[in-house]
Amino acid sequence: MNKKGSSIKPILVVTVVLLISIPAVWLAIIRLEGSAPALEIELESPFIGATRTVTVKVDDAGSGIRKVWMGLLVEGREVEVLQRTFPSAGFFAGGKEKSVQVKTPVSPQSMGLADGKGVIRVVAWDYSLRKWGKGNRVYLEKEIQIDTSAPSIDLISRSHNLNQGGSGAAIYRLSEDCPVSGVTVGDLFYPGYAGHFKDPSVHLALFALDIEQGKETRLAIAAEDFAGNRSTTGMVYHINERSFRKDTINLSDTFFNAKMPDFERYFPESSGGGRADLFLKVNRELRLKDTEAIHRITRKTEKDILWEGPFLRLPRSANRARFADHRTYLYGGKVIDRQVHMGVDLASTAHSPVPAANRGKVAFTGDQGIYGNTIILDHGFGLFTLYSHLSQIDVAVGQMVNKGDTIGKTGLTGLAGGDHLHYGTLIHQTYVNPVEWWDDAWIKNNISAKIDDAGTRNKP
């Protein structure tokens, strides 16, 4: 008997069994996997207008993605929107794509679908050999509302007389609820809000003209509904161009030595360097950062008018600088910088009590770079007042203050060369001339009368 031959046979049997069983196990576990693809429909809102992009995400880490199909069902009629097949990597490997993101435009009108309720249906298959090679399937649908009609805008306020660098108000009625509406001023946008009138379709928008926007600036009311349909209507308006004062500021080593050490913390790399060079960094770079920070603070506003009547000016104070003064900075008899002063400087006695110019909510308190200790009050509907260079802050963020309440004291923090109040007024992110808001007649003619003429207020 050949013992060697008899010992080889079991090895061959084991080898044959392994050769057969390993592919079988692989086929059962890998190519016959039973997990359906993961499917997600991304849609900004359930509303679909004239055109809306729908994004479909599909993931299948097992056998890969075979096909994605999308249809739109409205009033019992289904229209195919998308059908896409993805390549195979071969019988043993499955699909090439394990994760895909498909974006497709949906245009109901071109598909002959009417406005109304509908359903988006999406189906995805993988490259599994399950179901006689058809693969695992996942099915997902999402309810939608087709709306291809743009909102209509009825402008209620009829005339808008504006000063360059000044403020205005527009009142309008929308035919439907819109998440975005307001006044466009050139390339700037000022949102409008409902809720101030008994009629919820009536909106009020405070808006502004930037100091660079003159007579050629175009104004309009714009609205966009939830489906993305957009409407624009023109306005009747008149713009008064303004010339702003030019001012020269002579800088000295005494000023640099007194103020620049306070700013070395912002530019530690400049510590020990020339004071004039540090001043330029502060007056340019830090000023820009402060402006950006103030813009962030004023993006969020109360959806209510908190103020009433003319705004208060710092009592018994003299003007030390006007709104939109175009400043030229001289050092050693040479021009070293130019900036625009976006507020009014008011000086009284040192550490004078600062009153809230009108009723409002404290939106910010703290050190704000070149402005030093600063308070920003939100008066609602995008109207803000700013109080800077304070020696003392007596209010906290979120606190409601009434007109005339003491909120702090004047000082010389920040880039101030002497004790004073830097006072600013903003409509959303645009600085406007505070003098208008100190004037009772201007407020009545340009703001209050329009609100009263628009109808009964929702608020007393």
Q: Are the C-beta atoms of residues 387 and 408 closer than 8 Å to each other?
A: yes
pLDDT on residue 458: 46
CATH of domain 38-146: 2.60.40.3880
Q: How far apart are CA 135 and CA 347, in angstroms?
A: 79
Instruction: Give the chain's end-to-end CA distance (angstroms, integer).
Output: 114
pLDDT on residue 109: 87
Give the pLDDT confidence of 193-236 residue by residue, as tens digits: 999 999 999 999 999 999 999 999 999 999 999 999 999 999 99
Spell out, as residue ranges, where the chain has pLDDT lower than 50.
1, 457-460
Pick the CATH number of 246-428 from 3.30.365.10, 2.70.70.10, 2.60.120.10, 2.160.10.10: 2.70.70.10
User: Which letter does DSSP use for residue 420 in this model?
Assistant: B
Q: How far apart are CA 79 and CA 77, in angstroms?
A: 7
Beta-carbon count within 10 A of 273 CB:
13
Give the pLDDT confidence of 317-353 residue by residue, as tens digits: 999 999 999 999 999 999 999 999 999 999 999 999 9
Give the pLDDT confidence of 12-51 residue by residue, as tens digits: 655 555 555 555 555 555 667 889 999 999 988 899 998 8
**38-146 and 246-428 share one fold:** no
Chain-centroid distance, C-alpha 326: 30
pLDDT on residue 92: 77
Parallel/antiparallel/unpaired status of strands 99-106 and 116-126: unpaired
How do the domains of the chain map onto residue ranges? 38-146, 153-242, 246-428
Choose among 364, 353, 327, 458: nearest CA to 411.
Answer: 353
pLDDT on residue 25: 52
Rg (CA), the chain: 34
Q: Which architecture characterizes domain 153-242 according to CATH?
A: Sandwich (2.60)
Choose among 203, 208, 238, 237: nearest CA to 223.
Answer: 203
pLDDT on residue 192: 97
The two counts, helices (H) then strands (E), for the chain are 7, 31
pLDDT on residue 27: 53
Chain-centroid distance, C-alpha 196: 23
DSSP letter string, 226-266: TT--EEEEE--EEEE-----EEEEEE-HHHHHHHGGGGTTT
